[in-house]
Structure 1
Amino acid sequence: MHQTISTVAFIGLGVMGYPMAGHLARQGLTVRVYNRTTATAEAWVAEHGGSHHTTPQEAAQGADLVMVCVGNDDDVRQVTTGSQGALHGMAAGSLLVDHTTASSDLAEELSNICHAQGIGFIDAPVSGGQQGAINGALTIMCGGEEREFSRIEATLAHYARAVALMGPAGSGQLTKMVNQICIAGLVQGLAEGLHFAEQAGLDQQRVIDVIAKGAAGSWQMENRHKTMAADEYEHGFAVNWMRKDLGICLEQARRLQARLPVTALVDQFYGDVQAMGGGRWDTSSLLRRLRSHGRD
């Protein structure tokens, strides 16, 4: 019988990781944190308690569970298998959970490395954005072995409203790709709808109030239509991150021979937004692209 999870190391305190780690601390877990920017780790400890450490390896020492939430595949490798990575500090019988949206290849690679050291591994990308992290209402898509998932499911539930095991290592990342593929088309559709309504002289809010109750309704429509109509994009999930995610999707699709024509097109549209200086704008800024093209 495995021990109860009481000490957690959290690696990466960005807009997602900071509140996620906070939920664990509020549940009474001992939380050891590492962040590349030390000031952020110091601020987190001042707010939540626990301890901050100078390397992922040091943070991972004595932890039953190590959670990673960083930027991309290279970042994950650096904080796990790198020279001062968490895996150098983890004991056999502990678990590594990667919340980063990364490639399924990386998940399989880490799974093999972890299991060779007697460490469990779950890839567990999340959906729900910064608000979902703050509110403890994320959706978490997991890949790995059932017995390892069962050990961490209750801990993940501290900041999730839905946690599901999708299959073996890499399956969580593949499911997150499906999520991003679906979102890309939805956001472009919403942007085009609002643009059309504006050009037609309709009251955008009244249009949304009606159509949101029907088949056109979506999370994006409910949560983004007001800021889109107001041309406000200094919030939310950055275009740069969405392009990273869509790049992962498109690369995987090529290997699977899955056709993603709309996703590929929307990825190019996000390239246009980056060229407009909007790399840090929310993904709903596709509407600003349409408005600017209309003025050309």
Structure 2
Amino acid sequence: MTTAAFIGLGNMGYPMAGHLARAGFDVTVYNRSEDKARRWVEEYGGRQARTPALAARGAEFVFVCVGNDNDLHQVTVEDNGAVHGLSAESVLVDHTTASAAMAETLDAACREKGGRFMDAPVSGGQQGAENGQLSIMCGADEVTFERLAPVLDHYGKSVVHMGPVGQGQLTKMANQICVASVIEGVAEALSFARDAGLDAEKAMQVIGAGAGGSWQLVNRHRTMLADDYDHGFAVDWMRKDLDICLAEATRQGTSLPATALINEFYKEVQAMGGGRWDTSSLLRRLRRDKG
């Protein structure tokens, strides 16, 4: 039985770790909220560890999925972090959407312990995690990727080796630039359709079947029309991701004018009290003065 540790049981990590358990892995979990880790063990079996280092001890694969660079640093390289529990030749896999610089830091820390590292941010949201249909963007050497690819297939529908460490995170940044831009486009289209007196639902059906279609349009337009945003990927997390994108773009000397503008729109949504609303709440921002 292959041993694995999973650190971070949020909306994404909880079902991802569950897929590993159902595939027959011997999984030890750690979560800052011990009650959630306890519930996971009750549902899937395995064990609960008191620290990330104890979770990682003896595990062939150590997976991490937390909120941001600071959270990641805390559960990996700080006292009792997962890196301190790594065995020789074990692999730390980071599913957090984080900076490329953090990926390089973790790679160096793992190598000092004789282990390996791969940055592997994911796209597909909670629904994709629950259904095992995530897109996984991997940064690692070829040997490490080949070793991990069959494991990631348990919750990934597309597992792609993008290149060396850091390339997975850079790909996820490009992904978030696309997502934010598409959501704003869908929000503006829905607002326009309503003001033009169209049947907005019918309009989205025909647009979604053509060149204007997208995952966001197909899967979010009905909840947007219903003004329902208590679900999905939170605005706070998108703001975090876009800040990472913009910082990296500044470092590269790349211009991202639309991304910078949409990031400001999300700041307005946060000011409206929508930090935990789904990212599709950009429509509520557009319609706030229309009733």
The structural deviation recorded for 1:293 is: 3.9
Check the 8 A contact 2:4/2:62 in 1, yes or no: yes
Match of 1:178 in 2: 174
Aligned position for 2:216: 220
User: 2:98 maps to which residue?
Assistant: 102
1:209-258 deviation digits (Å, cap 9, x = unpaired): 11111110000001000000111000000000000000000000001111
Partner of 1:136: 132
Secondary structure at the aligned position of 1:158 is classed as coil
Deviation of 1:116 (Å) = 2.2
**Amino acid in the other structure paired with 1:190:** V
Percent sequence identity is 60
- What corresponds to 2:201 in structure 1? 205
After TM superposition, give the deviation of residue 294 of structure 1 in Å: 4.1
Task: Tell me if the contact between 2:4 and 2:63 (Cα under 8 Å) persists in the aligned partners.
Answer: yes
Q: TM-score normalised to the size of structure 1?
A: 0.97
Aligned to 2:237: 241
Tell me which residue corresponds to 2:45: 49
Q: What's the offset of the Cα at 1:134? A: 0.2
**Partner of 2:3 in structure 1?**
7
Q: Which runs of 5+ in 2 are unaligned?
A: none
Q: Distance in 2 between matches of 1:41 and 1:93?
A: 26
Task: Name 1:69's counterpart in structure 2.
Answer: 65
Q: Within the alignment, does 1:151 sit opposite 2:147 as a pair?
A: yes
RMSD of aligned residue pairs (Cα, Å): 0.8
Structure 2 residue 256 is matched with structure 1 residue 260: yes
Give yes or no for the alignment of 1:288 onto 2:284. yes
2: CA distance between counterparts of 1:293 and 1:263?
A: 24
- Is contact 2:62-2:93 (8 Å) kept? yes
* Residue of structure 1 in register with 2:272 after alignment: 276
CA distance in 2, matches of 1:205, 1:248: 34
Number of positions where the alignment pairs a residue of Structure 1 with one of Structure 2: 291
Is residue 117 of structure 2 the alignment partner of residue 121 of structure 1?
Answer: yes
My pick for the range that moved more, 31-40 or 107-116, is 107-116
- Distance in 1, matches of 2:109 and 2:23, equals 30
Cα deviations by residue, 1:27-78 (Å, 9 ceiling, x for unpaired): 0000000000000000000000000011001111110010000010111111
Q: 2: CA distance between counterparts of 1:20 and 1:139?
A: 12
